[in-house]
Amino acid sequence: MAGTGETQALIQKVDILLAAVMLISAIVGVLFARAAANNISSPIRQTYEYAARIGSGDFIAVPTDASTVEIRQLRESIDDMSSRLRATDEAQKQFLQNASHELRTPLMSIQGYAEAIETGIGFEPKEAAAIIKAESRRLTALVEELLTLSRMENYLFDTKAEILEMNDVLTEYVYRLEGAAFREKKKLLWQPAEEEIHVFADEQLMFQAVNNIISNCLRYAAAQVSISLMCEGGEVSLSISDDGPGIGEEELPHIFDRFYKGKKGAYGLGLAIAEKAVTLMGGSITAYNGEAGAVFLLRFKTLKKDDN
């Protein structure tokens, strides 16, 4: 009987020990789970706070260190997004500042000459009216460019793609721009391709791009602007070049930026619109310095004969 009592006592002690071990294990498990949850939830909560700040317009640099690969990758993506948004925001602010300046200049001129007419001091009314008319045209053209670029960048431009024979359309464009070249006392030299070249593009956008680039080249050319067309490897290349001083190496990366100001003055919106127009048509545009001056190269995919 004594042995039996000792055995039962031993069993009770073992049960108590097992219960204690299980209780301790449960407590440790809960503490471990809580620590693990905090280890996961804390960086997630911080990441959410970073995203919320970015969403409110505070484009901060997001720390990419984290306890797990997934959270680190998420933070890297958010940091990249923040950097892009910050750059876009800065570019937008710069654009608005430059646009305000460009709009203010003709407005101040119009106001000044209008006051001269009103007071009868400084200028003859006819002379002042002529300047007001010229500045009004300049202001209207600038507003139209701003609206055009805005529609393009927000994909609100009503594109109407069609099959264009590039020799024909460029011959017409050059003819339409001969007057501008004549006013500048310069020449347009047009060299069409030897064969017919067809592309699927928007005719209005094509003219916008070609017109803006030729107009820019006429501004800096010494005597002439050359336009040539060729097709090779299923791609059409349209080259527009001038015989001017060329583009500064430090200016080349920014030549298509809106209102970019180089050493020779501001480039306005013309080249920015040209680049956007070409992009909307699925083409590409690059600028570089040739042997005699600046060269703008536009590339588009050609249509095969059986696609026409």
Q: What is the CATH number of the domain that holds 42?
A: 1.10.287.130
pLDDT of 278 > 60? The answer is: yes
Judged against a pLDDT cut of 60, whether residue 37 lies above it is answered with no
Q: Which residues of 134-167 are buried (b: 16+ CB within 10 A; e: fewer)?
A: ebeeebeebeebbebbeebeeeebeeeeeebebb
171 and 149 in a common domain: no
What is the reported pLDDT for 133?
84
Domain, as residue range, for 270: 161-307
Position 1 in a domain: no
Asked whether residue 2 is assigned to any structural domain, the reply reads no
Q: Strand 224-232 to strand 235-242: parallel, antiparallel, or no bridges (unpaired)?
A: antiparallel
Q: Are residues 20 and 139 in the same domain?
A: yes
Note whether residue 238 is domain-resident.
yes
Cβ-based neighbours of 91, under 8 Å, separated by 6 or more: none
Q: Kindly state whether residue 264 falls inside one of the protein's structural domains.
A: yes
pLDDT at 3: 56
Same domain, 204 and 104: no
Q: What is the pLDDT of residue 31?
A: 62
Residues 99 and 235 in one domain: no
Between 72 and 286, the higher pLDDT residue:
286
Distance of alpha carbon 297 from alpha carbon 42, whole angstroms: 53
Band (108; pLDDT cuts 50, 70, 90): confident
Of 88, 121, 156, the residue at which a domain comes to its end is 156
* Highest mean pLDDT (candidates 60-74, 114-128, 164-178): 164-178
For residues 23 and 119, membership in a common domain is answered with yes
Residue 308 pLDDT exceeds 60: no
Q: Which of 121, 156, 191 lies at the terminal end of a domain, its last residue?
A: 156
Average pLDDT over residues 140-146: 78
Judge whether 3 lies within some domain: no
Residue 4 resides in a domain: no
Residue 268 counted as domain residue: yes
Closest CA to 234 of 307, 161, 288, 173: 307
130 and 206 both lie in a single domain: no
Are both 14 and 148 inside the same structural domain?
yes
| 35: pLDDT strictly greater than 70 | no
For the chain, helix (H) and strand (E) counts, in that order, are 6, 9
Domain count along the chain: 2
Domain boundary among 117, 135, 156: 156
State which amino acid sits at residue 90.
E
User: Radius of gyration of the chain from Cα atoms?
Assistant: 34
